[in-house]
């Protein structure tokens, strides 16, 4: 992979965050990382059945959450995310305790009422479309919300869809490229590929006949870019540019973020720390230290405070009730007699 050359040529030099922005982004990245570490600890202690999440995607996903136009309906952005999107949710204002609830599969989990895997977000008030376990189907589903927001409808929001690199081999990704780019019928859709160079245990090299997934967008006449997703300032700049284009032109854009996978694919492979991967949080800490925005001691005390907060929250969640068996069919069928009702 020619990451460095692609990154240098395809994205304009990132503007630096102010001290205030740096602290905000750092806090969200740190909080996201510590939330994932708590989820992994819960899984290992038997307080959950499966873990999958986003350690290594914070530097990209946090800016995405900050820049999204949050709200319900077509005047706000629809987000069709993936199972590594915790940074985006926290940056939008989600309470980390809700992720702990989904991990423990308790009834108070607002995303799935205790029925789905960790990281499977869903929030109608913020247009967070339910995260899907079958990979890449979000790229087909996103066409629907993008059509509801296309030029001429008067809708102000856009559709943002995100998935991994391996998933782009699925037909859904090609479907989104075709449907979003038809001349005169273009869709306001930001397509994001978060490329960690792996699909579970299958390496990128050898599976794809191109250097960058985003190059595929060129054949469909859409702007494309590759960004260093381990750099929050570069990610912020690349996202701001792509969002501005889709919002004003009402046309598609394909953005590829090169990210790390710091904990293996999921708990199925042990969720152990990966070797030889760039850690975006460590890197940002060095940057903040060298710019004298934060000291090591301040970072350590922030880390200790959030760790304690999450530990305390997980103790409460441990005592919360699982969903009642009688609710098994709730939210499965649209029949209003079944949604949320007793059977
Ligand atoms: C349709 C479908 N096929 C296969 C799987 C099994 N599966 C789960 S994650 C995954 C790899 C996904 O890799 P990528 O798209 O690169 O995302 P990453 O997990 O690396 O972020 C696969 C093959 C699935 N969940 N859904
Ligand atoms: Mg991948």
Task: Flag whether 331 is in a domain.
Answer: no
Residue 70 has pLDDT above 60, yes or no: yes
pLDDT of residue 25: 98
pLDDT of residue 15: 84
Residue 24 has pLDDT above 70, yes or no: yes
Task: Flag whether 339 is in a domain.
Answer: no
Q: How far apart are CA 118 and CA 99, in angstroms?
A: 7
CATH number of the domain bearing residue 122: 3.40.50.970
- Distances in Å between the alpha carbon of 257 and those of 31, 56, 323? 21, 11, 37
Residue 319 has pLDDT above 80, yes or no: yes
Closest-approaching ligand to the CA atom of 162: 1
Q: How far apart are CA 122 and CA 113, in angstroms?
A: 10
Task: Flag whether 274 is in a domain.
Answer: yes
Residue 315's pLDDT band (boundaries 50, 70, 90)? very high
Task: Flag whether 147 is in a domain.
Answer: yes
Average pLDDT, the chain: 93
Residue 11's pLDDT band (boundaries 50, 70, 90)? very low
Residue 284 has pLDDT above 90, yes or no: yes
Residue 335 has pLDDT above 80, yes or no: no
Give residue-wise pLDDT tens across range 179-234: 999 999 999 999 999 999 999 999 999 899 999 999 999 999 999 999 999 999 99
The model's pTM is 0.94
Average pLDDT over residues 36-60: 97
Domain count, the chain: 1
Task: Flag whether 340 is in a domain.
Answer: no
Q: Is 84 in the pocket of ligand 1 (CB under 6 A)?
A: yes
Tokens of 178: 């075709």
**Domain range holding 276?**
3-321
Dist. CA 260 → ligand 2 center (Å): 9
Task: Flag whether 20 is in a domain.
Answer: yes
Closest-approaching ligand to the CA atom of 168: 1
pLDDT exceeding 90 applies to what percent of the chain? Answer: 90
Task: Flag whether 337 is in a domain.
Answer: no
Name 226's bridge partners: 256
| Contact assessment for residue 120 and residue 131, using Cβ atoms and an 8 Å cutoff | yes
Residue with token string 């160079």: 197
Dist. CA 341 → ligand 2 center (Å): 39
DSSP assignment, residue 97? H
Task: Flag whether 328 is in a domain.
Answer: no
Dist. CA 273 → ligand 2 center (Å): 16
Residue 331's pLDDT band (boundaries 50, 70, 90)? confident
pLDDT of residue 206: 84
Q: Is 166 in the pocket of ligand 1 (CB under 6 A)?
A: yes
């Amino acid at each position: 992979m020619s990451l460095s050359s692609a990154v240098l040529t395809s994205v304009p030099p990132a503007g630096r965050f102010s001290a205030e922005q740096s602290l905000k982004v750092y806090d969200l990245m740190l909080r996201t990382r510590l939330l994932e570490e708590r989820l992994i600890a819960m899984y290992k202690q038997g307080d959950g059945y499966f873990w999958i999440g986003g350690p290594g995607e914070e530097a990209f996903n946090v800016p995405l959450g900050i820049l999204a136009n949050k709200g319900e309906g077509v005047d706000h952005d629809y987000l069709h995310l993936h199972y590594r999107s915790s940074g985006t949710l926290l940056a939008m204002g989600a309470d980390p305790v809700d992720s702990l609830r989904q991990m423990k599969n308790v009834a108070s989990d607002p995303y799935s009422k205790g029925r789905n895997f960790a990281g499977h977000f869903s929030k109608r008030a913020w247009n967070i479309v339910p995260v899907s376990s079958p990979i890449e189907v979000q790229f087909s589903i996103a066409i629907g919300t993008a059509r509801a927001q296309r030029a001429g409808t008067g809708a102000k929001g856009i559709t943002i869809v995100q998935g991994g690199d391996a998933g782009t081999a699925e037909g859904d990704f090609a479907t989104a490229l075709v449907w979003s780019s038809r001349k005169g019928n273009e869709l306001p859709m930001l397509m994001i590929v978060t490329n960690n160079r792996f699909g579970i245990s299958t390496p990128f090299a050898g599976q794809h006949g191109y250097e960058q997934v985003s190059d595929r967008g060129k054949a469909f006449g859409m702007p494309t870019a590759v960004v260093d997703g381990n750099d929050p300032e570069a990610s912020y700049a690349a996202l701001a540019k792509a969002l501005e284009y889709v919002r004003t032109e009402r046309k598609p854009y394909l953005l590829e973020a090169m990210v790390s996978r710091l904990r293996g694919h999921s708990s199925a492979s042990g969720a152990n720390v990966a070797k030889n991967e760039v850690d975006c949080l460590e890197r940002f800490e060095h940057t903040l230290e060298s710019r004298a925005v934060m000291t090591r001691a301040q970072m350590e005390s922030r880390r200790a405070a959030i760790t304690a907060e999450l530990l305390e929250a997980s103790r409460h969640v441990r005592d919360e009730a699982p969903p009642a068996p009688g609710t098994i069919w709730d939210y499965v069928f649209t029949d209003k007699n079944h949604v949320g009702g007793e059977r």
